[in-house]
Structure formats: C-alpha cells, structure tokens
Structure 1
Amino acid sequence: MKKLLILATGGTIASVSTNAGLVPNISGKDLVKSVPLINEMCEFDFLQLMNIDSTNMRPRDWMRMRACIVEKYDDYDAFVILHGTDTMAYTAAALSYLIQNSQKPIVLTGSQQPMANPFTDAKLNLYHSVLYAIDDFSCGVVVVFGNEVIAGTRAHKQRTLSFNAFTSMNFPALAHIRGNKIIRSYAGMGTGNSELCTMPTKPHDALVKPDSPKLQTYDRLNERVIVLKLTPELNPSIFYLLKRDYDAIVLETFGIGGIPDHDGEYEKAIDDWIASGRSIVVTTQVPEEGLDLGVYQVGHTYAQKRGVLSGDDMSTEALVAKTMWVLGQTNDQDEISKLFYRVVFHDRVPGQRPA
C-alpha cells in the first residue's frame, strides 16, 4: 500500500463560517477524516504547514512547501497539497519550477465550498487527488480539480463560483477522472518532459515507467516580478517608477501582441528598462491562444528586440513563477533567455522561441 504525505495550507476547503466570513480553521487530518473511503486506498501522514486564506500565499510559503517535499521526498510515494483556489495556479507553477523531473506526483487540490458544506465539492476533489496520486503513471506537479488533471504550469482559475473552477490554458488537460477511472489524454503528454509520464501505446504493454532525467530542485526565487496590464492611455512613465521595486515586468499587451506606438514613448521606456539590466516578458491579456509579436506593426518592433522575452502560449501565472525562478538562478541576459525558453513540464509549446 502506498504512503502519501498530506500538506495542509488552509483555503476554502478548510474554512468555517464566522461573522467575518469564511476563515480557514480545519486541519488536514480532519479533512481526510471527512472522506473515509480514501483511508482504504493508502496510508497517510499529515503536516499542517499553515492555515491561511490563499490570498495571503506568498513566495516564502512556496519555499516552505518545496523544502518539505524535498526533505520528505524519499519517504513517500506521493504528495497532496490542500490549498485555497485563489492562488493555487501560482503555487502549482512555482512548485513546477522549484521541483523538476519528479517521477512522484505532487498534487494540489482544494474546493469552491468548505468541506462542511452539505453540497461541497471538497470530498470529490480530495478523493480524485488521492486516486491520481497513487496511480503508477502519475508524476510531476498537477492540479486535480473538477474531474480534471491539469499540468501545474497550465492551470488557471477561470471561474469564481462553479465547481469546474480551473481550466488548462492553451494545452490539453493531462487527464479526466470519471468515477474511479483516470482517462489520460495521450496527446497531452507529447511535449515538455513527457518521458516522465509516458503511457503504454497498447493495452498489453508493460506498465513500467521509462527512465527519466534526474530530479532537479532549486532553492532560490527572485520575488521582484510584477504583472503590468496595458490599458488605453496608460502612461509609459510607469516603467521608470517601477525600477525601485522590481527587476522584471510581465507585460500583458493588447490582443495578439500590440504595444502602443503613437509617440514612441513606450519603446523608449522599454529600451531603458532593458538597458538597466532588468527583464521584460511580453504576453497577452487575452486568456487563450497566446502571443505572436510578428503579426501587427504595433508588436513587430519587439519581436526581435534583444532582452524581450516572449511568453508565447504560457499562462500569466506560469510566466510570473518562471521569471521568479529564472532570475533566482542568474543575472546574465543570455542565461536568462536560455532558462526562460527551456520547456518545463508542458509550460510552453516547443519551437515558439523567436528566431
């Protein structure tokens, strides 16, 4: 029987009603008791890392999770993290970069309703998370939520109330869960360290994981990263103001990659930002289908500009986490580019790097 470590961090799944609203207050051990079926599936140990609303989740908390998983990695077959939904996608992305090539699954889950709610989704999400975690073909950092398994680098909270709160951005869900069956998306395993989770091509193929790259862990992040969303008449002087507090900007442009060029001030501000040794990642504020700076004149200027990193089809959450990870490893511009364009567990479609 496999042995799992449950890491509890709080969130809606652990919340109780108070006069001030929902407040996390239930331990991970008590949450598991609410789903007695899973006690027959595997053995559990519990660690209450924190008990907070995920709105208060910060990079230092990601590092606590990372340190715990790395320390306990050899002692358990899988890890399940109980987490609030609001920042779950950021945490999943961050752990995807901090713990790479993991053959053991690291599953994040939570709920839209507290465990004590009579119509909660918490019980099914927790059951599915354990079901996925103990499966021999599961690996890497994933979000299990609303009957879907989403790569940690592709998760995005799309809905605030519905039980299918998360979507897999610009990439197939890795699997769907129907009852007690895991239905894997074979096509979804085709890029980004896919050898870690390769499924048999025929029903009678040996159910053995192939060899994979060695586990890689990292213990540094640069938190000085901000997301800046373009709006009409946003003054480009903001780039100069952000210099004091930030080393990188994830710039959400218009459409497929438009940056205003009516007076040249944006290009001047961006050039100054890059010349100061800081990084800029260009993406789109449109949720689906990604960026292509070469389509319109208003983006073409930046398509080949040295120092501009293209977010392509990545989610904003993954871009924030990846930029923090990259800048935590190096300050060299060439090395930054090399690390940024490296495919990590499905985070981008290969071959999209600008020529």
Structure 2
Amino acid sequence: MKRKVLLIYTGGTIGMEKNYETGSLQAFDFGNIFEKLPEMKLIECEVEVYPFKKPLDSSDMGPKEWKMIATHIGKEYENYDGFLILHGTDTMSYSASALSFMLKNLRKPVILTGSQLPIGDLRTDAKENLLTSLYYASLYDQDEAVIQEVAVYFEYKLLRGNRTLKYSAEFFDAYQSPNYPVLGQSGVHLNVEKDFLWRSKTDQPFTVDTHISQDVLFWRIFPGMHLNHFTEIPNMKVLVLQVFGSGTIFNTVQTKKILQALRKNGTEIVVISQCVSGGISFGKYTNSNIFREIGAISGNDITAESAITKAMHLLDNPNYEGSFAENFVKNLCGEVSEN
C-alpha cells in the first residue's frame, strides 16, 4: 500500500527559479512540481501539494503562519500518512519548534526542509532534500510511522525540529542539533536511529493547540550592556535572557536591582546560554546565583528558537495546568534534556 504524503509549500529558496532574462529569482508554480522534478513519481508514496496562495520569504513566517500550518495538518491528519513542509531556511527552526508544541501527541511524521540554492539551479541541494524528506515522511514499519515528531531534514541529516539551529548561510550543511543526536542519515541506505526518536508519553489522541502569545521578549546580554533598558518596556510578560556560559551575568548591585524589579512586576525570566553546546547550571558560578535568588527559570540546554516559541505557546495558555514556570521546565516534546 502506498503511503500518502501532503506536501505543504510555504515559500523560500527551494521554490525559486532564475529568470534568465532578468537574472532575478522568482517563485514558480508549485502545482507543476512533478514536471520540475519528475523523480518524485518514482518514490513509493502518493504526493499531493497544498501551496500557500502567496509564497513567503521565511523572514515573513510567524505565529499567523504557524497556526495556518498546524490547523491544516489537524484538518488533514486522518487523510495522510505524513506531512512535508517546504520552508525558507532562515526561520525554519522557529517554525519547526512552534509546530512541535502545537501538534500534540503526534503519531505521524511532520518533516520540514528547504534548500540553500533554488530548485532550478544547476548545483541545487533542493532535489536531494525534497526527495529524501519524502522518504522520511512516508516511512512506516508495518502500520506504525517510524518518525512520530516534527523533524528537519537537511543535507543528508534528519534532526529533531525543536533542537535545530541554522548555523551557516553559505554551506549546504546548514543545520545543527548540538545538544541532541542525529535522528537519521541518508547515504547509500536510509538510516534511522530508533533509540533517539521521540514517542509521545501519553496515550491521548492527537490534537492541535494553536495558542500563541506574542508578549515574549528575547534579549542577548553583552559586556558593558545597560540593563536599565529592561525597565523601559511596559507589560513584558516573559523575558528570554541569553546569558554567558552556563548561566552567568554581571555581578553588580544594579543588575540585581533591575532583575528583582522585573520579577516583582510579574515578568517571568527564562535563562538560556549563548553557547551553542551545553546549557544552564545555576549555582555553578557565583555570577549565576542571582537567577536562583529571584526565581528565574533555567532553560537547561534548549535552543533560543525553541525557548522563544515554547514561551509563546505556554504563556497564558488555558490548556495547561500549573504555572508557566512549572510547565516551561518540563520536557514537553523532546526540546530539552531531562535532568
């Protein structure tokens, strides 16, 4: 039996081709993808295409589009065996992270991919990324999907979506998952590391929760920074604060005073590391004790993209019991290592 995959085209470089008269890149009609990429017909799955009416640069992708994608997957969940989302590369990790929180108790593959070069380019990476993503999106072991989470496939690697970050604007190997192993690799054989795959911890049915709050601010500290900027932002509900190393910040009276004032005003402070690898450890150094004293939330080894979208999803979400802090430290869908 052929598996059915819904291909959702949002835009991005992968859907571009060069106009050789002007030299500019332009979006092509993704409804004609089978003519552009006839190899798709050789894959042992049925593919249907759902394109956005207006293809978007990934810098224009945000909460509105995340909700659209999640809602459409929810609508078509029973009609397809897997889902493939074609997306621009610059914000793909944000979208993958957001979707991982929105698509609860997922039992089917949701794969995101894109490319560094347009699909019509002679040296493009788009064809391999698209074709292999289709394999992963349709990969089943008898009646059970092998991938049951939101993942990113790029340049021969399958990665957990909410663990990824884009680290190169130049190379085809553009994505990393620094704090979690690769889920699978494509070579002569299509490999999957089954021990690293996510499985829902509940037996509850699949649901879609599109709650997103935009009252979240992300700030990266730097030496010599004036923290009094924080006091100029009214009604800041969550501050995702990216600090040095394993959780250090300036050890000054002003720092403590401002952070205490934020907490007193009701702002939740989530602390994450500027380091690509590793995570937060309150108390390891004296300059991290302030966060424990004020009741800040440790982001552990979560990525910035995942921390931001997780905070947006949890803030004021009526579908969660308990406080924001209690839910943020939980490993909801594989986005953070458990202590």
| TM norm. shorter chain > 0.5 | yes
Question: Counterpart in 2 of 1:38?
Answer: 40
The 5-angstrom pairing of residues 289-300 of structure 1 reads: 289-300=278-289
Structure 1 unaligned segments of length 5 or more: list them.
198-210
Question: Counterpart in 2 of 1:47?
Answer: 50
> Equivalents in 1 of 2:319, 2:256: separation in Å?
23
For 2:10, what is the secondary structure of its paired residue?
Answer: strand
* 2:325 aligns with one of 337, 345, 348: 337
> Equivalents in 2 of 1:265, 1:26: separation in Å?
55
Residue 48 of structure 1 aligns with an amino acid whose one-letter code is P
1:26 CA displacement: 2.0
Q: Is the 8 A contact 1:10 1:26 kept in 2?
A: no
> Equivalents in 2 of 1:24, 1:335: separation in Å?
47
Question: Counterpart in 1 of 2:245?
Answer: 255
Question: Counterpart in 2 of 1:92?
Answer: 96
The 5-angstrom pairing of residues 304-343 of structure 1 reads: 305-306=294-295, 308-330=296-318, 334-343=322-331
Structure 2 unaligned segments of length 5 or more: list them.
141-145
1:345 CA displacement: 2.3
Q: Is the 8 A contact 1:146 1:163 kept in 2?
A: yes
Question: Counterpart in 1 of 2:77?
Answer: 73
Does structure 1 residue 188 correspond to structure 2 residue 201? no
> Equivalents in 2 of 1:113, 1:222: separation in Å?
34
> Equivalents in 1 of 2:279, 2:31: separation in Å?
41
Does structure 1 residue 159 correspond to structure 2 residue 168? yes
Q: Is the 8 A contact 1:101 1:196 kept in 2?
A: yes
> Equivalents in 2 of 1:254, 1:68: separation in Å?
40
* 2:182 aligns with one of 168, 173, 182: 173
* 2:107 aligns with one of 86, 103, 108: 103
Count of aligned pairs between the two proteins: 330
For 1:143, what is the secondary structure of its paired residue?
Answer: strand
1:35 CA displacement: 2.7
For 2:41, what is the secondary structure of its paired residue?
Answer: helix
For 2:226, what is the secondary structure of its paired residue?
Answer: coil
Go from structure 1 to structure 2 and tell me whether the alpha carbon gap of 1:257 and 1:22 turns closer, same or farther (over 3 Å shift). Answer: farther
Residue 287 of structure 2 aligns with an amino acid whose one-letter code is V
Residue 243 of structure 1 aligns with an amino acid whose one-letter code is P
Q: Is the 8 A contact 1:195 1:212 kept in 2?
A: no
> Equivalents in 2 of 1:269, 1:250: separation in Å?
15
Go from structure 1 to structure 2 and tell me whether the alpha carbon gap of 1:59 and 1:344 turns closer, same or farther (over 3 Å shift). Answer: same
> Equivalents in 2 of 1:87, 1:28: separation in Å?
21
TM-score under structure 2 normalisation? Answer: 0.91
> Equivalents in 2 of 1:36, 1:146: separation in Å?
20
For 1:162, what is the secondary structure of its paired residue?
Answer: coil
For 1:227, what is the secondary structure of its paired residue?
Answer: strand
Once the two structures are overlaid, the 10-residue window that deviates more, 60-69 or 338-347, is 338-347
Q: Is the 8 A contact 1:11 1:85 kept in 2?
A: yes
1:58 CA displacement: 1.4
> Equivalents in 2 of 1:27, 1:121: separation in Å?
19
Go from structure 1 to structure 2 and tell me whether the alpha carbon gap of 1:240 and 1:31 turns closer, same or farther (over 3 Å shift). Answer: farther
Question: Counterpart in 2 of 1:128?
Answer: 132
Question: Counterpart in 1 of 2:334?
Answer: 346
> Equivalents in 1 of 2:320, 2:268: separation in Å?
10
Question: Counterpart in 2 of 1:203?
Answer: none
1:175 CA displacement: 1.0
Go from structure 1 to structure 2 and tell me whether the alpha carbon gap of 1:22 and 1:144 turns closer, same or farther (over 3 Å shift). Answer: farther
Go from structure 1 to structure 2 and tell me whether the alpha carbon gap of 1:345 and 1:117 turns closer, same or farther (over 3 Å shift). Answer: same
Cα deviation code 1:234-257 (max 9, x no counterpart): 11111112225x421110101211
1:45 CA displacement: 1.6
Cα deviation code 1:158-180 (max 9, x no counterpart): 1111111001130101111114x
Residue 338 of structure 1 aligns with an amino acid whose one-letter code is E
Once the two structures are overlaid, the 10-residue window that deviates more, 278-287 or 24-33, is 24-33
1:24 CA displacement: 5.1
1:323 CA displacement: 0.3
1:293 CA displacement: 2.0
For 1:287, what is the secondary structure of its paired residue?
Answer: coil
Go from structure 1 to structure 2 and tell me whether the alpha carbon gap of 1:323 and 1:39 turns closer, same or farther (over 3 Å shift). Answer: same
> Equivalents in 1 of 2:104, 2:80: separation in Å?
17
Q: Percent identity?
A: 28
Question: Counterpart in 2 of 1:200?
Answer: none
> Equivalents in 1 of 2:116, 2:320: separation in Å?
42
